[in-house]
A and B are shown apart, each in its own frame.
Chain A
Amino acid sequence: MNIYGIRAIYHFEMARTFRTLWESIAAPILTTSLYFIVFGKAIGSRMGNIDDISYGAFIIPGLVMLNLLNESISNASFGIYMPKWAGTIYELLSAPVSWVEILIGYVGAAATKSVMLGLLILGTARIFVPYQIAHPLWMIAFLLLTAVTFSLFGFIIGLWADNFQKLQVVPMLIVTPLTFLGGAFYSITMLPPLWQKITLFNPMVYLISGFRWCFYGVADVHIGMSIGMTFGFLIICLTFVGWVFKTGYKIRN
């Protein structure tokens, strides 16, 4: 195992984050605060409780997930896309590092950053809503699992993308809409029966429901199902990345 190599990649990526620390932090905090003011306070005050949870508190797990997914994907995809774009990837390709080590470096850094951000958003939320976390250890575990899985997914997008637009397309056109439709702001039990069935094809439902269970002990789908689905997605992503590196697809001519 090339530990120094992993460390070098991880530090490089974290340094990139800290160079743009304010941009990285300010935007998500500002948007979440807006959500709390608009949904939590203004609209939420006219909404009844869902599953005995105030609407303001109900949306917290979904909001954190929304940010976590977007951050994980954008950090990791940008992280590997940049060297491809700038040409500096020659060094990575000529270095004695395996694809597992490259992944640990890039995905580890992207996940670290998005977990830090997720915690920051939870802290911000506390200013607006006094919420409790029923299963804090599960909550942290779920946060980590999701951050790693979606950083891996972002890494794949970064490998696949050959221009900046493609980098944006998946988060904007797929992840954000699916998160919104996945019950970030409502319980899927509020949908008509047919839509409840259709919604179960949306993977975000499992993430958000599972994460919400960590907070309030109630969920739309069983927690085991949520964890199983997330692991499943992680394994799909890992398999795909393994294949990409084995064949050199899109990285080695």
Chain B
Amino acid sequence: MPISAENSVPIIFVRDVNKTYAGGFQALKKINLEIKRGEIFALLGPNGAGKTTLISIICGIVKASSGTIIAGGHDIVRDYRAARASIGLVPQELYTDSFESVWATIKFSRGLFGKAPNATYLEKVLRDLSLWDKRDAKIMTLSGGMKRRVLIAKALAHEPTILFLDEPSAGVDVELRHDMWRMVRELREQGTTIILTTHYIEEAEDMADRIGVISQGELIVVEDKDVLMRKLGKKQLMLTLRQPMTSIPAELSVWPLALSDDGHTLVYSFDSQKEETGIAELLRTLGEHNIEFKDLRSSESSLEDIFVSLVHQPKEALE
């Protein structure tokens, strides 16, 4: 994504947002976040972390207890009309009007958001989502995956410049998921900013420009995906041994080594960021002790590993 002067101003500012629900539960703790114009931002976090709460506040469904939010240059409370007109939301739950037809429901959405009717545009949205054949079907006769697409069509009906997708891939088959991600990329090409949550971390790894991780109401990290993976990623060197070992020999105990695969594989973990990985020295040491190996390969930790370590030991992972 090219950064030019005009799109370097964030499209969403979240400033010191707190949320305490009526029951007294604090779902968000002093959230500060900026979403860049035109990016795909993935918000990750375990169940109950506060992802939906944050999205609901930005969209106007839930009131923040304190803090301010600017979306598309407009304060979401004071200037809610302009702010909301630019936002489309696909909610996590499949909330639909069972008795309405697909066509009626997307026409309704477009009107509700203050846009003049435009059948050509709505037809294109339905065609892109493979829903055109179902336009006259009552929503209750559709499958779960189709209902999800109807919700996407509703969110796109008013041509938003900011699109929130709250777990769009829940309950959606592989093929549709691919179609959906293709569409998300197309929307991004056209300049739409996309904020999504997902529990499929490969998806975020695949799609997102930047990643935010939220845990127990706190935003623990916001980072470019590549930077995050470089910074927090651990590399491992795996040596397939000629002779399996039952334990690490005492003379190698100073090295961060582990055995796996019933003693057939020796695993060396190292920090890929450091100048000195220690690999050459390790191999020399192994030679000195006549430990032979027949194969060697290295691997990087996935975003999933990073995510798990962040959520469980945020302090350690970030150090």
Among B81, B84, B113, B154, find the residue whose CB has the most chain A CB atoms closer than 10 A: B113
Q: List residues 98-127 of chain B with CB under 8 A from any CB of chain A.
A: 98-100, 104, 107-117
For the complex, give the distance between the alpha carbons of A253 and B19 in Å.
Answer: 10
Interface contact B61-A93, CB-CB below 8 Å: yes
The yes or no answer to A95 lying at the interface (CB within 8 A) is: yes
Interface contact B93-A5, CB-CB below 8 Å: no
Interface size range of chain B in the complex? 35 or more
A residues near B97, Cβ cutoff 8 Å: 86, 88
The yes or no answer to A15 lying at the interface (CB within 8 A) is: yes
For the complex, give the distance between the alpha carbons of A30 and B99 in Å.
Answer: 27
Interface contact A88-B96, CB-CB below 8 Å: yes
A residues near B116, Cβ cutoff 8 Å: 4
> In the complex, which of the residues A19, A91, A98 contacts B109, with contact meaning CB atoms closer than 8 Å?
A91
| A252, closest chain B residue (CB) | B63
A3, chain B: closest CB distance, angstroms: 8
For the complex, give the distance between the alpha carbons of A9 and B56 in Å.
Answer: 22
Q: List residues 165-189 of chain B with CB under 8 A from any CB of chain A.
A: none
The yes or no answer to B267 lying at the interface (CB within 8 A) is: no
The yes or no answer to A96 lying at the interface (CB within 8 A) is: yes
> In the complex, which of the residues B63, B81, B95 contacts A87, with contact meaning CB atoms closer than 8 Å?
B95
A residues near B82, Cβ cutoff 8 Å: 96
The yes or no answer to A178 lying at the interface (CB within 8 A) is: no
Q: Mark interface residues in B111-149 (1 if CB within 8 Å of A CB, else 0).
A: 111111100000000000000000000000000000000
Interface contact A94-B22, CB-CB below 8 Å: no
Interface contact B62-A96, CB-CB below 8 Å: no
Interface contact A88-B81, CB-CB below 8 Å: no
The yes or no answer to B59 lying at the interface (CB within 8 A) is: yes
B residues near A2, Cβ cutoff 8 Å: 81, 114
Interface contact B154-A91, CB-CB below 8 Å: yes
The yes or no answer to A248 lying at the interface (CB within 8 A) is: yes
When A2-B114, A15-B104, A253-B22 are in contact, do A248 and B63 touch as well, CB less than 8 Å? yes
Count of chain A residues with a beta carbon within 8 Å of a chain B beta carbon = 26
For the complex, give the distance between the alpha carbons of A90 and B55 in Å.
Answer: 12
Interface contact A4-B61, CB-CB below 8 Å: no
The yes or no answer to A229 lying at the interface (CB within 8 A) is: no
B residues near A120, Cβ cutoff 8 Å: none
> In the complex, which of the residues B22, B85, B89 contacts A96, with contact meaning CB atoms closer than 8 Å?
B85
Interface contact A19-B99, CB-CB below 8 Å: yes
Q: Mark interface residues in B69-105 (1 if CB within 8 Å of A CB, else 0).
A: 0000000000011111101010101011111100010
| A95, closest chain B residue (CB) | B112
Q: List residues 52-108 of chain A with CB under 8 A from any CB of chain B.
A: 86-88, 90-98
A residues near B22, Cβ cutoff 8 Å: 253
Interface contact B111-A96, CB-CB below 8 Å: no
The yes or no answer to B278 lying at the interface (CB within 8 A) is: no
For the complex, give the distance between the alpha carbons of A231 and B107 in Å.
Answer: 36
The yes or no answer to B60 lying at the interface (CB within 8 A) is: yes
Interface contact A4-B89, CB-CB below 8 Å: no
A residues near B81, Cβ cutoff 8 Å: 2, 96, 98
B residues near A91, Cβ cutoff 8 Å: 89, 95, 109, 112, 154
7 A-B interface contacts by CB (under 8 A): A2-B114, A12-B100, A15-B104, A86-B97, A91-B89, A93-B60, A94-B84
